[in-house]
Amino acid sequence: MKIRADVIRTYQKVHTWTGIISGLFLFIGFYAGSLTMFKPAIEQWAVPKVQIVAQTPIDQIDQLVVKATTEFEKAKQGFIIEFNENASSMKWYEAGGGRGLRLDDELVHASFNENQQVETQQATKNELGTLIDQLHRTAGIPGSVGHEDLGVLVLGIAAGLYFLALISGVIFLLPTFVKSLFALRKNKGSSRFWLDSHNLVGVMSLPFHIIIAWTAVVFAFHDPFYAGLSVVYGDKPLFERGERSEHIYQLNELPKIEHYINTVKTIAPDHTLKSLDFSGLDTQSPSVAIELQTQTQMMRGGYSDIIFMNPFTMKISYSSVLNEQSSAYAPIVKTFFGLHFGNYAGDLGRWIYFIMGLMGAFLFYSGNLLWLEKRRIKQPQQHKSSKVMAALTVGVCFGSILGVVATLVATKWLYLFTQVINASYLYIYYCIFIFAIIISFVKGAAFSAIHLQRLIAYSCAAIPFTSLLLSQNSDAIEFTPSNMTLNLVASLFAIFFYLAAKKTKQRALTGDKNSVWALDNKFKEKQAEYIAVK
Amino acid sequence: MSRLSEDEKIQPHWWRKSLIGFFMGLSFAYALVAIFAWFGPGGIDVPMKVQFNMWIISLIWLSIMCFIFMFRTALTAFKALLIANLIAYTLFLTLRWTL
């Protein structure tokens, strides 16, 4: 395909600039997003068994609700009924609750003991899964603007630039598209290899990337978009307002749990019930959020569909479950969400999204490396910008990964000492992340790339070792099939990063000594030694 | 193919083109969505259409941002988007006050 040379040059520039600005934010967004594909498995890994109380049989839940709501003040306001065998049947918030991320939410788990008395256990809600999700959405940038996280807005802008980078990348790749797409030239130097794999990954997963970029922009900026749209709509309201009921219902008017189960069966026959979340029971606007799951259809949320209704009148105020009355637009909009969350093909779909997400992270990492290669000059002193970018790339990418892996390792060990560990996750992550960036600037990209990758390898290896060591301590750990997978995946990453560190070291010692990836003169003796051994 | 002269080649004009795409592209996206919202399939009152409309704004906007750099100069980009905006808004307002 022939394209004018000036068009190609223009879009090469667009690609470079949008890519280099947004790449590091997107790297974190993508690899952390991959992890959120298995948020339940991570939560299961993070939460010790002691925090879950015995299950209450379905036919006794109504009695449990009656007793708990008479005995406990907070349960009168609202409570959650879970239909998952790995969770406590009933719980409520003693502190916190509602939307948003807090580190000090206190959950009370309740069940019946042998004497049909309510037995409770209070624990701080573990937020590791939510924190990884937060990292995915904000790239770890703290702070908020209005009621939106600053990080979400920054990632929204990065996603917009990323959309431009994708299209411009395709435009300037078009002329050589067919010829070099599947060429993975290993013998033409490392920069060729990076370029070929960058192009291959980018083109092969292009639809995925376009969807992710666009949806991320919408997720970040839906409020301003709606604000603009309300001008277009004029006097028409964008959304119906929820109505308040005239009087406050009494708790004993609450229908039995079976009634909800049957209602859900008729509204959503293809879904299974996950949980009922009652709130505001003592107010004029009581609500129950019904979470539902399906393995084979698009879902509106990451892991579930949701129906909001008045728990006393069963009047639905919002439902993401499609039915005959849904307009033609409902499934389309739902598809946009489902395509971002990768929730429409069960575990297989999640694994595919997991791998695609990691390939996306690779795309940004390799993109930055290509930029550095292009700017390499044949003299000992490289451009300052090259050094800075190399240090940032290594520090941010590997620092962030190391921080997350360290929290995953630490969680079980911390629970041996205390039940209040959410804040520790943040300390561990940010300390390691900042330390990695400082080390990269002080010691150079080559040194830190080698050692950070090694540290990641050791930390990943520490996950299966933690499982082994703490399996003796039956309180702190619960082995389930999903934890075995987590151990296996951690082991694979340990091997991968160990080999990558080795490769990086090899290049640092034997590659072009002017590159930002070369270790400096102090290591020259070591180099001689290394070559001699080889 | 004969070589293009300097004047025929795309001029960079990065900032000007970016700003034109950002603002005029956004307003054009809203114009198209406005026409679609009121006069597209289902009209203004269909449930869930408002969400669909909101989603589509960014898709049009981002596409314009992608192709704005194809214009030879910032001025041609400005003229093209000005005309596109004028046509779209005239159409919308005419439809809105006559139908």
Sequence-separated (6 or more) residues with CB below 8 Å from residue A481: none
State which amino acid sits at residue A19: G
Mean pLDDT, chain A, whole residue set: 87
Tokens of B83: 């005309």
- What is the per-residue pLDDT for A88? 84
User: Which member of B12, B49, B65 has the closest CB to residue A329?
Assistant: B49
Taking an 8 Å cut-off on Cβ atoms, the answer to whether A217 and B62 are in contact is: yes
- What is the per-residue pLDDT for A447? 92
pLDDT of A95 higher than 90: no
Where are the domains positioned within chain B?
Answer: 13-98
- What is the per-residue pLDDT for A50? 65
A4-20 mean pLDDT: 91
The answer to whether A196 and A186 have CB atoms below 8 angstroms apart is: no
| Residue A176 binned pLDDT confidence (cut-offs 50, 70, 90) | confident
pLDDT of A161 higher than 90: yes
A411-436 mean pLDDT: 91
CB atoms within 10 A of CB A177: 12
- What is the per-residue pLDDT for A479? 54
A327-345 mean pLDDT: 92
- What is the per-residue pLDDT for A531? 63
What is the nearest CA distance from A293 to chain B, expressed in angstroms?
A: 21
| Residue A512 binned pLDDT confidence (cut-offs 50, 70, 90) | confident
Taking an 8 Å cut-off on Cβ atoms, the answer to whether B4 and A4 are in contact is: yes
Q: What is the pLDDT of residues A185-213, one digit of tens each?
A: 666 666 788 888 898 899 889 999 999 99
- What is the per-residue pLDDT for A120? 87
Main-chain phi, psi angles of A186, to 5 degrees: -90, -25
- Residue A289: closest CA among A321, A247, A335: A321
What is the nearest CA distance from B75 to chain A, expressed in angstroms?
A: 17
Contacts of A332 in chain B (CB under 8 A): 52
Sequence-separated (6 or more) residues with CB below 8 Å from residue A178: none
Taking an 8 Å cut-off on Cβ atoms, the answer to whether A336 and B55 are in contact is: yes
What span, in angstroms and rounded, lies between the C-alpha atoms of A453 and A398?
7
- What is the per-residue pLDDT for A534? 59
Tokens of A370: 């290509």
- What is the per-residue pLDDT for A123? 84
What is the nearest CA distance from B78 to chain A, expressed in angstroms?
A: 18
The answer to whether A229 and B53 have CB atoms below 8 angstroms apart is: yes
| Residue A237 binned pLDDT confidence (cut-offs 50, 70, 90) | confident
- What is the per-residue pLDDT for A430? 97
- What is the per-residue pLDDT for A532? 65
| Residue A297 binned pLDDT confidence (cut-offs 50, 70, 90) | confident
**Mean pLDDT highest for which of A325-339, A418-432, A467-481, B77-91?**
B77-91
| Residue B12 binned pLDDT confidence (cut-offs 50, 70, 90) | confident
Contacts of B71 in chain A (CB under 8 A): none
What span, in angstroms and rounded, lies between the C-alpha atoms of A316 and A318?
6
* Measured torsion, CA atoms of residues A457, A462, A463, A467, in degrees rounded to the nearest 10: 160
pLDDT of A525 higher than 70: no
The answer to whether B32 and B64 have CB atoms below 8 angstroms apart is: no
| Assembly ipTM | 0.94
Residue B1 CA: distances (Å) to CA of A2, A4, A5, A518:
11, 10, 11, 44
A245-265 mean pLDDT: 86
- What is the per-residue pLDDT for A192? 80
Half-sphere exposure of A341 (CA within 13 A, CB side): 22
Between A85 and A421, name the one with better pLDDT.
A421
What span, in angstroms and rounded, lies between the C-alpha atoms of A285 and A188?
68
**Mean pLDDT highest for which of A120-134, A299-313, B21-35?**
B21-35
- The least confident of A105-109, A283-287, A515-519, B81-85 is A515-519
- What is the per-residue pLDDT for A56? 82
Tell me how many residue pairs between chain A and chain B have CB atoms under 8 A apart: 88
Between A73 and B21, name the one with better pLDDT.
B21
Between A123 and A455, name the one with better pLDDT.
A455
**Could you tell me the pTM of the whole model?**
0.91
Tokens of A357: 């997400």
Taking an 8 Å cut-off on Cβ atoms, the answer to whether A232 and B30 are in contact is: yes
- What is the per-residue pLDDT for A527? 59
The string of DSSP letters for B11-58 reads P--HHHHHHHHHHHHHHHHHHHHHHHHHHSTT-S--TTHHHHHHHHHH
- The least confident of A6-20, A164-178, A182-196, A278-292 is A182-196
Contacts of B11 in chain A (CB under 8 A): none
| Residue A510 binned pLDDT confidence (cut-offs 50, 70, 90) | confident
pLDDT of A1 higher than 70: no
A355-373 mean pLDDT: 92
- What is the per-residue pLDDT for A163? 97
A42-70 mean pLDDT: 82
pLDDT of A242 higher than 70: no
